Amino acid sequence: MKRGFSFSVTVVFSAIVFIYYCTVFIFIDRWLGLMTSPGIMNAVAFTSISFMCVLNYTFAIFADPGRVPSSFMPDIEDPGVPIHEIKRKGGDLRFCQKCSCFKPPRAHHCRVCKRCILKMDHHCIWINNCVGHANYKVFFVFVVYAVIACIYSLVLLLGSLTNDSHNDKQQSADSFRIAYVISGLLLVPLSMALSVLLGWHIYLILQNKTTIEYHEGVRAMWLAEKGGNVYKHPYDLGAFENLTTVLGPSIFFWICPVSRHIGNGLRFHTACNKLSASSTSK
């Protein structure tokens, strides 16, 4: 599948352009005035947030989520990889029949992209791409900026409406009613849906899980409890280390589209690595 523009991506870009125009040239202008200091500051702030939103969205669309090298071969004797994922049935190392290659840890085959994706989270129609190892951070940061932009725009919309109720009621109702109604119908559900999505991915990051691993973990937890055991996600390194694994070691770059820290996506630190490192340091 070719990454790039699709109908759903066009819809998203159209919504961004419409919300930006209404926010800056209607809400801010009618409430604060674009030629006043508060108006200029709000316009600059909202433009900056919108720019970062579009930038991260573009990166999420065009970035390859992670391709399994054709030469990849799991090494079961490698001491640096204490966990090897196996098939549910048979216990063999995971092998993709469609791609004719072994699957690295956390990799899954995407039926839409028709190939295996490193550390696959899900396939997202709104970016016309998979969310995986190489573009997960920019996807997450895009959602962060999108939530901020929607809530910010909604506040400006409400402020503009309040101001209009005291001035020029008839003119405001006749000239801008459609823009206010459409913006409200877009911003309210978008703010709610994106906030839920952001909360979900914050939870996943803190647990160092993907969406696929969450659903697999539910089943594994049920099987472990059935057998009298306790299941623990093997890639959970602790909340802060999980954050730095996804967003990077420097907090100043957490909301920037920089992902040089992520590695090759073929091997990941596990709780076993952490335990062995702590034991050797004693």
Active-site option among 96, 110, 124, 256: 124
Q: How far is it, in rounded angstroms, from Cα 157 to Cα 154? A: 5
* Residue 248 backbone class (left: φ over 0; alpha: ψ -120 to 50; beta: rest): left
Q: Cβ distance 204 to 236 under 8 Å? A: no
Reply yes or no on whether 113 is catalytic. Answer: no
Q: What percent helix, strand, coil does the chain show, rounded to 5?
A: 55, 5, 35
- Using left for φ > 0, alpha for ψ between -120 and 50, and beta otherwise, residue 162 falls in alpha
Q: Which of 153, 128, 137, 152 lies closest to 249 in space, CA to CA?
A: 137
* Residues acting as catalytic residues: 124
